[in-house]
Structure 1
Amino acid sequence: MCINKQKLQFISIWLLNLLIEIGLCSTPHEGFAFTLEKIPEHCGRNAFDYEWRKYFGKAINKRIVGGSATAYGEWPWLASLMFYQTAEQVQKQKELQTKADEEELEFLDEISKNNEMILDEIDPFIPPSLVYNYPDGGRRFHLCGGTLIHPQWIMTAAHCFFPNPFYPHLSEDPSSWIVRIGEHDMLNESMEHYDMSVAHVYVHPQYQSASSSGYDIALVKLTKPVKLSRYVNIACLPLIGDEIKPGQVCISVGWGHEIDGAKNISTILKHVGVPIVPNDQCTMNYATLRNGPNPIDVTIESNVICAGHAEGGRDACQFDSGGPLMCQINKQWIVSGIISFGYGCGKAGYPGVYTRVSDYVPWIKGIAEVFTF
């Protein structure tokens, strides 16, 4: 059977439209172009929002993981901050591990003599995530989350770059970091994602340490802008002084531990809805930690947001740090908070604490110098 050129052209157009419809082709609309002026219009829209997906096609793939619905493209501004350890640093950490193991064995031996029981705790020196090993002996692994707020800028937590006993080599050195954009399932390389180099890390100058509340914010500038697509977009920043009401349910998202004390992170992006808790209530809750056998002094400042369920059980956790707390306004997602700290994960009475982004918009604009609104 012969097919003339006119019929072939018709079939080609029909096939292209079909591929776009089922989501296998996501070529941007010819009229789409990112401009700074259009940030307020396009930010905070995901692959299910017609005002965004109309530029790239109509369909989207969904998947069900572990009994909860997650969707590829639902949070297209999420970033994974991957830390790189040199071979020398890896060896040093292994030495720390050996020392910790020896001390733990002595401790366990003493405990067994007294017939006491202890809880199984996470091994802090082994990266609790998918590890990419390099031929030179180095390795990189997911350490923190982040949010794409401009094609070349990531917003995250300051404490991700400060050395601690578990990760003594953390630093603001750009060569130590790779930012993965567009990731959903870390075990599925067929999904669209980009590994971006870092040009500069800007930690808020007033941030002191993870033990103090406030100023836990940092900006990461990529060496070049990432290409926006159906599965990669920027989130909206709040306006200066924006307030979110107590009881409002916002979304916390990341690849971190699914339960407190887990041995590994989730390789698939997870999210949880958490209600906003008034700061005065949060202050009273955390004040109880001062009265325990090992007193902990936590101050809840006005420049943070507390969010969580009174009964616990649903919360951000380790290795979600730096990721967003997102609240939806007029069908657009606003990054109201940055995952900062908490007492355990999902413990009843102790909501998660997030950096209040609206208090830092002037600082963000001063560093990035790309926002005109």
Structure 2
Amino acid sequence: MKLVRLIICLMIYCNLLIFPRARVRKRIISVGKNAKKGQFPYMVQLTEPQKENETLSTFNVCGGSLIHPKWILTAGQCFPDNEDLLPQIEKNASMLAIMGNLISLSLNVTAHIDKIIRNPDYQHVVSGDLEAVSDDIALVRTSEEFKLNENIQTITLAAPALLDGIPISHRISDCLTIGFGASDEQDEKMMPLRLC
């Protein structure tokens, strides 16, 4: 049942989201609690490696769900709005998928991203202090399969027939949100996987 709720939340979230435009987006998760090892084995962290002072560091881009050992379901807004940049990201293998970790950017198990398929109806509109995103969903393929174990698993998508006849209000009544983020302003370096 939790799986059905997660997929319903994704479907509703991906259709249309309007939020205040932030000058600097910080990944602060002020409510909820830290996840336990293996609690969300399908959680993937998408990152963009960057070199700083001859050492490799990574920048947290987005989260996603492993739906097949090589395929990740994520948000379309995880990637540049300029569609011409997507093939460049694929060709350069400039993004990584990380799995099996509880702390952001701890490189437990990684795979390079070699294909990004964003919903063709995806839209990102900025108007003054508001942003609107619609059809916000994408599929990402990794260059190699993740080896499944107790901390790395796929999540099964709900069949559309399971949602037939369920009113929208019931679909969103019990939703679980997970992601990497600091619990406060001072804790931005250590970003544990949290749920709320």
TM range (shorter): 0.5 to 0.7
Q: 1:212 to 1:229 in 2, by over 3 A?
A: same
The amino acid across from 1:216 in the alignment is: D
Distance apart, 1:202 and its partner CA: 0.8
Residue 32 of structure 2 contacts residue 194 of structure 2 at CA under 8 Å; is this kept in 1?
no
Q: 1:264 to 1:239 in 2, by over 3 A?
A: same
Q: 1:78 to 1:247 in 2, by over 3 A?
A: closer
Q: Match of 2:68?
A: 150
Q: Match of 1:256?
A: 181
- Structure 2 matches for 1:182-331, cutoff 5 A? 182-186=100-104, 193-209=108-124, 211-240=131-160, 242=163, 243=166, 245=170, 248-258=173-183, 264=188, 266-272=190-196
Distance apart, 1:250 and its partner CA: 1.8
Residue 255 of structure 1 contacts residue 266 of structure 1 at CA under 8 Å; is this kept in 2?
no
- Deviation string 1:87-108 (CA, Å, 9 cap, x unpaired) is 6xxxxxxxxxxxxxxxxxxxxx
Residue 148 of structure 1 contacts residue 233 of structure 1 at CA under 8 Å; is this kept in 2?
yes
The amino acid across from 2:191 in the alignment is: T
Higher strand share: 2
Q: 1:204 to 1:187 in 2, by over 3 A?
A: closer
2:49 to 84, 94, 100: 84
Looking at structure 1, the residues matched to 188 and 94 of structure 2 have their Cα atoms a distance apart, in angstroms, of 22
The amino acid across from 1:217 in the alignment is: I
Q: Match of 1:367?
A: none
The amino acid across from 2:178 in the alignment is: V
Looking at structure 1, the residues matched to 67 and 115 of structure 2 have their Cα atoms a distance apart, in angstroms, of 16
Q: 1:187 to 1:218 in 2, by over 3 A?
A: closer
Distance apart, 1:248 and its partner CA: 2.7
Residue 34 of structure 2 contacts residue 195 of structure 2 at CA under 8 Å; is this kept in 1?
no
Q: 1:68 to 1:221 in 2, by over 3 A?
A: closer
Q: 1:224 to 1:205 in 2, by over 3 A?
A: same
Looking at structure 2, the residues matched to 199 and 67 of structure 1 have their Cα atoms a distance apart, in angstroms, of 33
Q: Which segments of 5 or more consecutive residues in structure 2 lack a partner in the other structure?
A: 4-30, 126-130
Residue 41 of structure 2 contacts residue 100 of structure 2 at CA under 8 Å; is this kept in 1?
yes
Looking at structure 2, the residues matched to 253 and 204 of structure 1 have their Cα atoms a distance apart, in angstroms, of 22
Distance apart, 1:262 and its partner CA: 7.2
The amino acid across from 2:101 in the alignment is: E
Find the residue that maps to 2:155 and give its secondary structure: coil
Quick check: which has more Rg, 1 or 2? 1
- Deviation string 1:140-195 (CA, Å, 9 cap, x unpaired) is 2111111101111001111110259xxxxx94212220000112124766xxx311
1 or 2 for the larger relative contact order (CA 8 Å, sep ≥6)? 2
Q: 1:264 to 1:234 in 2, by over 3 A?
A: same
Looking at structure 2, the residues matched to 216 and 232 of structure 1 have their Cα atoms a distance apart, in angstroms, of 25
Normalized against structure 2, the TM-score is what? 0.65
- Deviation string 1:126-150 (CA, Å, 9 cap, x unpaired) is xxxxxxx472x77421111111011
Determine what percentage of the aligned residue pairs are the same residue: 26
The amino acid across from 1:255 in the alignment is: F
Q: 1:69 to 1:144 in 2, by over 3 A?
A: closer
Normalized against structure 1, the TM-score is what? 0.36
The amino acid across from 1:146 in the alignment is: G
- Deviation string 1:291-315 (CA, Å, 9 cap, x unpaired) is xxxxxxxxxxxxxxxxxxxxxxxxx
